[in-house]
Structure 1
Amino acid sequence: MPEFVSPNAEEQQYLDLIKDILTHGEDRSDRTGTGTIADDTFPLLTTKRVFWRGVVEELLWFIRGSTDAQTLSAQGVHIWDGNGSREFLDARGLTDRRTGDLGPVYGYQWRHFGAEYTDADADYSGQGENPTDRRIILSAWNPKDMGKMALPPCHMFAQFFVSKPGSPDAALSCQMYQRSCDVGLGVPFNIASYALLTRLIAQVTGLKPGWFVHCMGDTHIYKNHVKALETQIERVPREFPKLKIKRTPERIEDFTIEDLELVGYKPYGKIQMDMAV
């Protein structure tokens, strides 16, 4: 029989990663109590429907520096509701925090690294790291603030690189390091989110989009995701969609989901997987 060639080699890498973890991964417990199967490699995704609107709204929420889960919930995106609940915050010792106030998580660190966090309702304009510093690496990992966060960051660092600067072909690439990688739910979302971030930054800076490179640390599958992923790896990936950006605002904070058009996204159906909180 002829050798199988996937029509989408990048997503096939992701499916091969799942197979490798299921076959060779180390069985161990984890903080959520559901257990994980661990490995340490790299992936990329149509073999299930990804929550595109959730990817976009969460990323725009990060970009604006918001730390209020209720702001995201108002957009119909509830992925942070569990971490902003009264029960979860109290369990983290954040008893003085109002419901929905996640503390200095991703967006705050991206926009105001080094500023003193008070609460989700404060105005931090102009506070934090110098935005014109050439040595900036986009970092959500701030040890000083870790105890104030509802959830320590999983995707920690991103570094951007401009190839052929000054030429018509100048392109922006991004490399992201993720310390903890939930292959079933998180990784497809994270890939889409950082690829979109790279596209938006390239758009407002007049650059072409380059590469997104995903470096993965503790790469795991939750045991309650195994059956769903066994279904997913039987699916043959389809071609990725195209993203059209219909408007370029002056500031990256001013993008809205209406500015983005996903063309030709034809995934298989949704596969239900419960999120570990």
Structure 2
Amino acid sequence: MRQYLDYLQDILDHGTRHEDRTGTGTIRVFGRQLRFDLTEGFPLLTTKRVWMRGVTEELLWFLRGETNIQSLVQAGVSIWTDWPLQRYRDETGDDISQDAFEERIVEDDAFAERWGDLGPIYGKQWRDFEGPSRRVDQIERLVRGLRERPHSRRHVMSAWHPAQIEDAALPPCHYAFQCFVEGEPGDGRLSLMWQQRSCDSFLGIPFNIASYALLTHMLAQQADLMPHELIFNGGDCHIYQNHLEQINEQLAREPRPQPTISLPANPPDNIRDYKWKDIELSGYDSHPPIDAPIAI
């Protein structure tokens, strides 16, 4: 994962300072690419600990087509709580704590339905994209295409729905991905390239890398292929100005060997039915976590 550290240093060396939507301020560059060979290991950052349980639960949440935080919070994952919590505080004037808000989300279905929904974010667009004349389950179509027409150039997924952007709590940052197959099912290789318009390089990108690497493994297993290459294409690649101390701490650390990951020998028939317990991460030896505030 040396290339990730080089990516951070590149932003520090060549980026310009700008104000941003959150009021935090960023150092930013435009247009960067990272490539990971999945045959050499699972690209989970080792210069700080990345919470693989959170990565997995979020991805499974997307794959189930969910847009309400209730099941995430019930699984102990709070990574999407900030946005509905802020909306609740703004609209009600109640300065509720995050713990109290999440407790109500977990225990009160009516409260969760009213305040836990994030609008048409990733899960909605992946599993129920609404067009003018039809609705499309893009994940189901993708898996079917990989199985039946592996060499098609149409293995494309989009989370960017222009007509629904304003209804989402947060417009999609990683807005599209494409799959590419070499060889035939049984001994072929699957690569995945994703596009990201807005790249929180300290908090978000390590999470995104792990998530799309896991998705590549899942798609490959569903289509009887081997995972090969993962490619990140970033647009606005930035470091928040209140993450500089954490970035410098991370840059001073030496990467360690990458872990490996394995999926169940007997995979579920539907990609939405994987569970956290199905994912086995081995050999993950990382430096300690580095905390930093999220900008909303």
Q: Deviations over 1:133-152 (max 9, x none)?
A: 85452111000111110110
Alignment match, 2:227: 209
Which SS does the other structure have where 1:249 is aligned? coil
Alignment match, 1:137: 156
Alignment match, 1:104: 120
For normalisation by structure 1, the TM-score amounts to 0.86
Q: Deviations over 1:91-120 (max 9, x none)?
A: 7xxxxx82111011001101111169xxxx
Deviation at 1:87, TM superposition (A): 2.3
Matched, 1:31 2:21: yes
Q: Which one of the candidate residues 188, 206, 214 is aligned to 1:170?
A: 188
User: Contact (CA 8 Å) 2:262, 2:281: kept in 1 or not?
Assistant: yes
Cα distance, 1:132–1:23 mapped onto 2, change above 3 Å: closer
Q: Which one of the candidate residues 182, 193, 200 is aligned to 2:211?
A: 193
Which SS does the other structure have where 2:207 is aligned? helix
- Corresponding residue pairs, total: 252
Matched, 1:114 2:133: no
Alignment match, 2:279: 260
Q: Which one of the candidate residues 33, 43, 61 is aligned to 1:42?
A: 33
**How big is the alpha-carbon RMSD for the aligned residues of Structure 1 and Structure 2?**
2.0
Matched, 1:152 2:171: yes
Alignment match, 2:136: 128
Which SS does the other structure have where 2:164 is aligned? helix
Cα distance, 1:102–1:262 mapped onto 2, change above 3 Å: same
- Letter of the structure 2 residue corresponding to residue 178 of structure 1: Q
Higher relative contact order (CA 8 A, sep 6+): 2
- Letter of the structure 1 residue corresponding to residue 3 of structure 2: Q
Considering fraction of residues, name the structure with more helix.
Answer: 2
Please say which of residues 131-140 and 157-166 is displaced more in the overlay.
Answer: 131-140
Cα distance, 1:47–1:86 mapped onto 2, change above 3 Å: closer
Q: Deviations over 1:195-221 (max 9, x none)?
A: 100101111221111111110100000
Cα distance in structure 1, aligned partners of 2:6 and 2:155: 34
User: Contact (CA 8 Å) 2:88, 2:115: kept in 1 or not?
Assistant: no
User: Contact (CA 8 Å) 1:181, 1:220: kept in 2 or not?
Assistant: yes
Cα distance in structure 2, aligned partners of 1:66 and 1:38: 32
Q: Mind listing any 5+ residue stretches in structure 1 that lack a counterpart?
A: 1-10, 92-96, 117-125
Q: Which one of the candidate residues 183, 194, 206 is aligned to 2:201?
A: 183
Cα distance in structure 1, aligned partners of 2:247 and 2:70: 31
Correspondence list, 1:61-72, <5 A: 61-72=61-72
Which SS does the other structure have where 1:198 is aligned? helix
Q: Mind listing any 5+ residue stretches in structure 2 that lack a counterpart?
A: 37-44, 92-112, 146-153
Percent identity of paired positions between Structure 1 and Structure 2:
46
For normalisation by structure 2, the TM-score amounts to 0.80
Alignment match, 1:55: 55
Which SS does the other structure have where 2:22 is aligned? coil
Cα distance, 1:100–1:115 mapped onto 2, change above 3 Å: farther
User: Contact (CA 8 Å) 2:68, 2:118: kept in 1 or not?
Assistant: yes
Deviation at 1:244, TM superposition (A): 1.3
Cα distance in structure 1, aligned partners of 2:135 and 2:236: 33
User: Contact (CA 8 Å) 2:126, 2:137: kept in 1 or not?
Assistant: no
User: Contact (CA 8 Å) 2:155, 2:180: kept in 1 or not?
Assistant: no
User: Contact (CA 8 Å) 2:198, 2:234: kept in 1 or not?
Assistant: yes
